[in-house]
Structure 1
């Protein structure tokens, strides 16, 4: 599903990623852990096509059969919208829109019909236990509910891969545990591949595989 080869990233003179090689299979849940500054979020952003690696080292990044480093910006944006989903520590919901409207946004960007999109969004929110909250705006939802809306939004276009950056970092213990279990339920029932950066040891250890980063490299 993901094949990353010789991934380097510099910010001016700072060498953040130092030749990362990574292979992730379809339907696998992989956690990435390490101390702050190890390069975890930078790697996740590159794997998620939100940033580009420095390519003079012969880097390649193949996701679901597509070498994304060969795509121009417009094609890359389309690929990201259709193939990838994102969950962040801070849910990034738009406050002026309802839960239902927030979930629909990626599908609208993809040009999908409004009626079809709303039907699918309602199904996802019901699946996530939020059918009674679809017309509530983010400020009327708990932290756990907001994050589940963000999960539904990440799923609306049926992406091949979901990238999560500290997804439970802003949740209480019970909500975090529920979110962790949800990822595995989604993988088992919908077949998504998950790449999760986390400081939560419980979540990291639940993954099919835990990768440890240090100083811009994967140690394990």
Structure 2
């Protein structure tokens, strides 16, 4: 699913990633852990095509060579094959839950009715059927994050990248979100790559990858 070899990333003279190799299988849930400043989020952003490495030997996602894609092709690939979940849900406050979920589908030029039906189905699956017309400020933190999960799922991506997805949630909401990831993997066979400081979530993952000082140890 994901094959990254010799990934380097520097910002000026600061070398953040120092030659990272990582291979992730389809439907695997991988937790990336390590202290702050280890390079976890930088690696996640590069794997998720939100940032580019300073240098690398190769980066493939689902057998596609990411490094040969131009910006337009990369944006199209990202929209179709990749979903994102962030610590702060990044929902648009002026739109309802279902409208937020539909946005990636509309960007992909899918049929409006088809996207709306699928969005409602996903929100129902996530236990939010009675909240679909509520705006983010009318939802709890856990509900907002589930809407963000639904948005990440709407285009049926091959892989979902999550950056501290439960970092802003209380204990119960965090546990519910963690269990949801495994339910989704079993239901839809998606791959999850999760950066987290939450030890409980990391221990639940199929594999735990530890980073320190820009390398995997």
Tell me which residue corresponds to 1:135.
133
TM-score, with length taken from structure 1: 0.98
Q: Is the 8 A contact 1:2 1:23 kept in 2?
A: yes
For 1:203 and 1:143, the matched residues in 2 are separated by 18
The reply to whether residue 187 of structure 1 matches residue 188 of structure 2 is no
Tell me which residue corresponds to 1:82.
80
Tell me which residue corresponds to 1:122.
120
| Two-structure CA RMSD over aligned residues (Å) | 0.5
Tell me which residue corresponds to 1:218.
216
* Count of residues in correspondence between the two structures: 217
Tell me which residue corresponds to 1:25.
25
The reply to whether residue 158 of structure 1 matches residue 152 of structure 2 is no
Q: Is the 8 A contact 1:3 1:61 kept in 2?
A: yes
Which structure 1 residue ranges, 4+ long, deviate > 2 Å from structure 2?
none
Instruction: Please list every run of 5 or more consecutive structure 1 residues that lacks an aligned counterpart in the other structure.
Output: none
Tell me which residue corresponds to 1:51.
51
Q: Give CA deviations for 1:146-203 in whole Å, capped at 9, x if unaligned.
A: 0000000000000000000000000000000000000000000100000000000000
**C-alpha deviation, 1:35, in angstroms:** 0.4
For 2:183 and 2:34, the matched residues in 1 are separated by 25
**C-alpha deviation, 1:59, in angstroms:** 2.2
TM-score, with length taken from structure 2: 0.99
For 1:211 and 1:205, the matched residues in 2 are separated by 11
For 1:123 and 1:149, the matched residues in 2 are separated by 12
**C-alpha deviation, 1:54, in angstroms:** 1.3
Q: Give CA deviations for 1:19-47 in whole Å, capped at 9, x if unaligned.
A: 00000000000000000000000000000
SS of match in other structure, 2:197: coil
